[in-house]
Structures are given as C-alpha cells and as structure tokens.
Chains A and B, each alone.
Chain A
Amino acid sequence: MLRSNILKSSKRLLATTAEQSTVNSNTEKTWSSGSKSDSFKAGKNYREALLNGVPKNGPPSLRSRKYKLRYTSPVGINEAFDEAYEFLKTKSQNKYELLSKETDSDKQHQLKIEAEINNPEVKFNFEFNEKLENDQRYIDYTQPVYRELKKKHWENYGQMLLMQRLESLAVIPDTLATLEPKAEVSLKFSNHTGVNRWIEPGMLLSSNSTTYSPTIKIQEFDNVDISNELYTVLIVNPDVPDIEKNSYKTQLQWGLSNVKLDFNDNVISPKKLLEDKSINEIIDYSPPVPEKNLPNQRFVTWVFRQNNVQLNEKISTRDFDIREFVEQKKLLPIGAHVWRSSWDLNVANVRDLYGLPNGTVFQKVRGKHPLN
C-alpha cells in the first residue's frame, strides 16, 4: 500500500523533471579537446538524443511512431549522464595530456585507446554500425580505439570459433604447428558463381561456388607500421591423395605475396589484384576439385607478416611443404581460415574450365596384405 503511494507521487515527479531537463541541457557537449577525429562523433540523427537526452518526440533509434511516443526514459538518467560525462571527459583530458608528453609508440597507442574508450559517442558508433564492412565515417579502424573495440568483439566470438574449427578439423597441426591469432581473416567468394556472404570457418562449399578465387579481408588490430608491412597469403590443401605412399600430401592452391594493406582498405579482391601490380602471385589459383569417394578436403588459408622483407619467388609445382616454406622465408603467421569441399556433380565442369585431367574414382577394395 505504502509502496504504491510512493510510486504514484514519483510518477508525477518524473513528469515534471523529465521535461525540465530536456529544456535545460540544450548546450553543445564536446569530448576533450584532444579528440579531433570526426569518427569520434555519433551520426547527426542520434547525436542530440545521445548527449542531451531523448527528445519529447521519442528516441530516433525507434522507427515506429507509436513506440516513439510510448517511450519514456528512466527517472533521472539525464542528470546522472551529465555528471558522468563531465567526469569521464576530465579523465580523457588527462590521458591526452599524458599522450602529448609520451614518446614510446606502444604507450602512445595505449593512451590513444584509453582516451576514447569511454566516449559514449564512440561506443554508440561501434555498437550500432556495420563492423566488418565498416563505414569510415562512423567506424574508422585507423583510430586505435575502434581497432581495440573490434578486437574485443572478435575475441568474444569469431576468434574462438576459428580456433575451435582449426583444432577440431586438425588444421593445426596438419599444416602449421599452431597459430597465435593476431588478425581477423574473413573470406568470401564474391563472383557470379559464389555465395555472396562471408564464409564461416569450416563451412562445406560446393565446387561451383569455389570456381574462382576468393576475396580475402585481413583486419589488423596490433600497433604495426601498416604502410611498410607486407603480407603473404597461402591457400593449401593438405588432403590430396598420394597413392604411391598410400597417404595424403599437401598442395598449394593459391599463393600471394608482397600484399600491402591498410587498416580500412584491407580487402584482397580480384579488382585489387588487377590494379595493384606490386602484388606477387606465387602460384595462380587452382579451384578445389575433390576426388569421388574420398573424405572432405580442407582448404586452409594462412596469412603471414613478411617483416618488411620482399618475397618475389614464383613456384611452378603444386606440391608444397608449408612448414619448410614458412621457416625458410621467416614468415610470421597472424591469421587463418578454413573451408571444406567434397566431390559433387559439378566437379567435372570445373575440371573442364581449367583444363585439368580427369579425376580418379576411388573404390573400396579388399587388399591381399594388410596396409600400414
């Protein structure tokens, strides 16, 4: 009884305070003076509501007029937010002051993150915009804070999924011994035969969709000197049948080196391959053509940093020892991806298209001697 009485009076109170606060706090709010990039500002439709409180006609993030009018903010959120914003702003100001005195690159990087990580506009931009195919106006990965947010986001799901698939499909240790993931590698087949979406690691793809070379996106998170760094991409198939040894061998399906990347423009697409003459194609793309009656084949994409060393080598034979190659060229693996292929009715067409010899149909036969 008592509680409901309090409740009634507080509702009245809310009605008056909410209207007052929207009237009072119409002044422009700005984050600390060091924060200069436009990508630290929320989109113009949302900025007002985010910083000065939800207006009378409802939050801009809600579409329907009915729900806009029905919406009310919690009691006292505007006053509390104003206090919180001022508090966090002074913290950020301190970080920018430290940053102006700092000379060490890694510490500067860390301070740049700390100065902006609590900015509500940065948080809003990152949360409610496309993260993988980013719009630079809102998510600009040249800013360390957005890379840090993306890294956290990736570590929460994408990275764990990748490592689980790499381990359960025994990609590690079948190709390289292990992987310490440092960059996010995404892959899709964005041509007329492909599926126009990013491939989840371990997906089973049809031979039609993998007819032409994939588009690879490599998102770096670390504080690397990206303008001088070169990258190598290798796609290997460790499941090629080796009849002489009664085992499997590894073949190189595609190899690229001397790839230059940017934090935002980091897609290796067919267009980029045509335009950018500095990219060295170690070996041209060979599509997956799995043999009939054999288990699924794994196609593993490995991405390496070259540590500023040019790699102009070309390889003509497909048979490949990836471990030896990586050791020889002193490559640092930073990311990987894997998809699987199995024989289907379209494999013969793909073989025709690339002029490959006819495949082998494997049968189950009982041998004279036990095989070891």
Chain B
Amino acid sequence: MNTINSKIPKFQSSIIQQIRGIRTKKSRVATVSTGTQRVITQLSVISGRKKYPRLLKLSNEDRIRHETINKAWSLYQKDLRNERNEQLELQYNSILNALNDLKQVDIELFKVANKKEKGKRFPIDLRIPVDFPANKVWHYEVKSNKK
C-alpha cells in the first residue's frame, strides 16, 4: 500500500499542473481568522494570476509536436473552408445564370421571382427537413402555465 501511494501522487501532481482553473495546492490548516481568510480569498480571486490560464509545461519536443498538431488542424480547417466557399460560389453562379435566363425568357416571371417581400418574417413553425420527422409537427394546444 505504501509503495503504491508513493508512486501515484507523483504521477497525479504533474498532471494536475496542466489543468486550468483548478486549485493545485493543498489547502493548509487555517492559521488566520475567518475575516482575514475572506480578505485573502477575495484578493486572490481578483489577482492577475487568475485572469489567464496557467502555462502548459511542455518539453521542447512536446512543444514542437503540439505546434505541429495545431498547424495540421488549422490547415485541415482551411481546406474545409475553401471547399465550402467554392461550393457556395458555384451555387451563387448557378442562381445568377438561372435568373439571367429567366430574364431573357419571361420578364414578368423574373419580376415575380425577384419581388421584395417587405415585412415578411420567417415562419416560426417551419421545420428543418430531417430523415425521421416527428409524427406530430406542432403542439398547437400547448399554453403557458402563467395565469
């Protein structure tokens, strides 16, 4: 039992250092009065150390590994973003082409399609199409409990 205990805290203490916003020091036996302790607590809460997360203690190798992971993640996100933007651009061009054709074919229909609907709001009971829709779409009879 004693040998196990001597191993575990060493391992735990080094991990706890990397956890943000959690007290890492053990609380000491109170040697000051409660009033003074309150002041100390208040001061420590507004102290500068609490305003930023504690630094990760990484070795040189792990720091470079960490930066590599971050770089790869940001490049991956960038790829996704570019793909999405390309898709949106294609969609926009497609709409534009369709509207141009419509303008050529029938100017009246074009005007109707581009009519500005001022004051029209998005219908709140409109649902997003899903694979498994609910059987009952909107619970119209539900009323608030307030009297």
Q: Is B3 an interface residue (CB 8 A)?
A: no
Q: Is A98 an interface residue (CB 8 A)?
A: no
Beyond A84-B72, A118-B68, A118-B71, is A15–B11 a contact (Cβ under 8 Å)?
A: yes
Closest A residue to B18 by beta carbon equals A74
Candidates A50, A62, A71; contact of B65 at CB < 8 Å: A50
Closest A residue to B12 by beta carbon equals A11
Interface size range of chain B in the complex: 20 to 34
Q: Is B106 an interface residue (CB 8 A)?
A: no
Q: B54 CB to closest chain A CB, in angstroms?
A: 13
User: C-beta contact mask, A53-86 vs B, less than 8 Å → 1, else 0?
Assistant: 1100001111000000011111001001101110
Does A123 lie within 8 Å of B60, measured CB to CB?
A: no
Does B61 lie within 8 Å of A60, measured CB to CB?
A: yes
Residues of chain B with a CB closer than 8 A to A59's CB: 59-62
Does B60 lie within 8 Å of A84, measured CB to CB?
A: no
Secondary structure class of chain B's binding surface, majority of residues: helix
Q: A76 CB to closest chain B CB, in angstroms?
A: 10
Residues of chain B with a CB closer than 8 A to A131's CB: none
Does B15 lie within 8 Å of A14, measured CB to CB?
A: yes
Closest B residue to A47 by beta carbon equals B61
Does A124 lie within 8 Å of B64, measured CB to CB?
A: yes
Q: Is A127 an interface residue (CB 8 A)?
A: yes
Residues of chain B with a CB closer than 8 A to A46's CB: 60-61
Q: How far is the CA of A14 from the CA of B62 in the complex (A)?
A: 16
Beyond A11-B15, A59-B59, A74-B18, is A88–B75 a contact (Cβ under 8 Å)?
A: yes
Secondary structure class of chain A's binding surface, majority of residues: helix
Q: Is A87 an interface residue (CB 8 A)?
A: yes
Q: How far is the CA of A195 from the CA of B65 in the complex (A)?
A: 39
Q: Is B10 an interface residue (CB 8 A)?
A: yes
Beyond A72-B15, A120-B68, is A87–B62 a contact (Cβ under 8 Å)?
A: no
Q: How far is the CA of A61 from the CA of B59 in the complex (A)?
A: 7
Does A84 lie within 8 Å of B71, measured CB to CB?
A: yes
Does B61 lie within 8 Å of A124, measured CB to CB?
A: yes
Q: How far is the CA of A61 from the CA of B132 in the complex (A)?
A: 56
User: Could you tell me which residues of chain B, from 51 to 86, have a CB within 8 Å of some CB in chain A?
Assistant: 56, 58-62, 64-69, 71-73, 75-76
Q: Is B93 an interface residue (CB 8 A)?
A: no
Does A71 lie within 8 Å of B59, measured CB to CB?
A: yes
Q: Is A354 an interface residue (CB 8 A)?
A: no
Residues of chain A with a CB closer than 8 A to B100's CB: none
Does B58 lie within 8 Å of A50, measured CB to CB?
A: no
Candidates A7, A14, A50, A87; contact of B61 at CB < 8 Å: A50
Residues of chain B with a CB closer than 8 A to A11's CB: 11-12, 15
User: C-beta contact mask, A86-100 vs B, less than 8 Å → 1, else 0?
Assistant: 011001000000000
Q: Is A128 an interface residue (CB 8 A)?
A: yes
Residues of chain A with a CB closer than 8 A to B76's CB: 87
Residues of chain A with a CB closer than 8 A to B60's CB: 46, 59, 61, 124, 127-128
Beyond A61-B60, A87-B72, A88-B75, is A81–B15 a contact (Cβ under 8 Å)?
A: no
Candidates B15, B62, B67, B73; contact of A54 at CB < 8 Å: B62
Residues of chain B with a CB closer than 8 A to A61's CB: 59-61
Sort A-B residue pairs by CB-CB distance and give the 6 closest, nearest first.
A84-B72, A59-B59, A61-B60, A120-B68, A84-B69, A49-B61
